Amino acid sequence: MVADYPIEGWQQVIETNLSRVFYGMKYQIPAILESGGGSIVNIASILGAVGTRLSPAYVTAKHGLVGLTKAAALEYANQKIRVNSVGPGYIKTPMVTNVLNEETLKLAEGLHPIGRLGESKEVAELILWLASDKSSFVTGSYYPIDGGYLAQ
């Protein structure tokens, strides 16, 4: 609950999921400008588009990351830097499969209309496309990759 959320936890989550992305962009952008342009792809989450209970700091950080992406995209579009973000749903990673028991894993799969968790390689393919010249007219966008989670 928001009123019960520890201040230290808030600060740590915001620092990890928003501030560090800002710092990275702050120091990457001059080098990208010097090289003549490029692409930045930020990793948000489905929780960059919707809320959920009991995770106010994470939801706030991911919403902020989507906003930061849009602001940077507008600021640097005319300087040949494209900035986009992706919003993965629940992805089958060792962290997820090792932490969740079988019942909870089935519940997580059921949150996605496609009926399964995403794969890391699926997210990587989207990131590769956004980083490539094939997406040369794409900037300031947020791309959910979520098995239909946000369509509900």
Q: Which residues are catalytic?
A: 58
Distance from C-alpha of 132 to C-alpha of 25, rounded to nearest angstrom: 18
For the beta sheet containing 81-88, the strands, ordered from the edge strand earlier in sequence to the opposite edge, are 38-43, 81-88, 142-145
Kindly state the tokens that stand for 35: 């090289």
Distance from C-alpha of 118 to C-alpha of 146, rounded to nearest angstrom: 7
